[in-house]
Structure 1
Amino acid sequence: MKIETKYHGLIEVQEKEVVKFPNSLPGFLEEKEFTVIPFSEEGTFFILQSTKTPELGFVLTNPFKFYPDYDFNLENQAVDVLDLDDAADVNVYTVLTMANQFHDTTANLQAPVVINVKKKLGKQVILTGSPYQTKHKLFSEAQNK
């Protein structure tokens, strides 16, 4: 199927690449189908693109590349929604807030996007009682110099 995207224009997406979000994303109740598109060739950044709304695309990254100690447990309700049988079937992403100066970009570690890649089910999980915030600097001050 062809979809119009925020960052890549009109692209072809295989139906098997569409990830269903049964509970939608917080704040976007009508949006239940997305696809994950590589944003950069090196595989560090991705776009979670709505298949229905071209202007709805979130920049994502694998949080473990920037925060190796990042850790959380999925609640049973999330495991059920994702229909998870094996942790190996999970991809975890964090939504980025892009800054005018790229080195000021932040990551939302409090609400990771978790995808069951085998069954193509997704959920944005809101971590409660965790030390994580919605805005963690993606790059440390040392990396910016």
Structure 2
Amino acid sequence: MKLHTKYFGTIEIDEKNIIDFPEGIPGFEQIKKFIVIHSEDETLPFSWLQGVDMPELAFVIIDPRLITPNYVIDIDDSEIEVLEIKDTAKVNIYSIVVVPEELAKMTANLKAPVLINADNNKGKQVVMEKGDYPIKYYFMEQFQQKAGG
């Protein structure tokens, strides 16, 4: 299937890789279908959650464990039911990244991770009620130090 995107031009996607977000993403509840696009540059930790229903929409995402190694997901059983999680090892975890003009002020939303069940391609952004993870976690300085530059 061809998808005409704002940021990547026309790309070919495999329909079996489309992720269904039954509830959409907060603020974008009407958008139900997404695909994850991984960077071709393996040194970059970022991927994109590309809208299929709305091809002009794409979120920059990152695995939060790359910036906060002890990151722990604590979600309610109802969230597990929505995603039909049977094996937690098959759940991909992402944080949505806000990329401002000044890249040093880039933030990741650790409070509301995006979970994708790889077994059934169901996704959901969940707001964790427990824990004290911030919505805006400034990570670039620490990330650059860890990467050695």
TM-score, structure 2 normalization: 0.90
For the 8 Å contact 1:113–1:125, the answer to whether it is kept is yes
Structure number with the higher strand fraction is 1
Which amino acid in structure 2 is aligned with residue 24 of structure 1?
A: G
Letter in 1 for 2:2: K
Alignment of 1:53-72 (within 5 A): 53-72=54-73
Q: TM-score, normalised by structure 1?
A: 0.93
Residue 30 in 1 paired to residue 30 in 2? yes
Contact 2:93 2:116 in 1 (8 A): yes
Q: Which amino acid aligns with 1:73?
A: D
Paired residue for 1:86?
A: 87
What root-mean-square deviation, in Å, do the aligned CA atoms of Structure 1 and Structure 2 show? 1.7
Alpha-carbon spacing, 1:40–1:139, altered in 2? closer, same or farther (3 Å): farther
Structure 2's unaligned 5+ residue stretches are none
* Aligned residue in 2 for 1:121: 122
Structure 1 residues 25 and 142: alpha-carbon distance in aligned structure 2, compared to 1, 3 A threshold = closer
Partner Cα distance (2:38, 2:144) in 1: 24
User: Is the alpha carbon distance of 1:3 and 1:26 closer, same or farther for their aligned partners in structure 2, counting shifts above 3 Å?
Assistant: same
> Residue 140 of structure 1: SS of its match in structure 2?
helix
**Aligned CA distance change for structure 1 residues 16 and 141 (closer, same or farther; 3 Å):** closer
Does residue 110 of structure 1 match 2:111? yes
Partner of 1:10: 10
2:55 counterpart letter in structure 1: P
Cα deviation code 1:36-58 (max 9, x no counterpart): 00135215111101102122100
Gaps of 5+ in 1: none
Is the 8 Å Cα contact of residues 67 and 143 (structure 2) preserved in structure 1? no
Distance 2:2 2:29 in 1: 23
Quote the Cα distance in structure 1 between the aligned partners of 2:144 and 2:8.
29
Identity of aligned residues (%): 37
Q: How many residues align?
A: 145
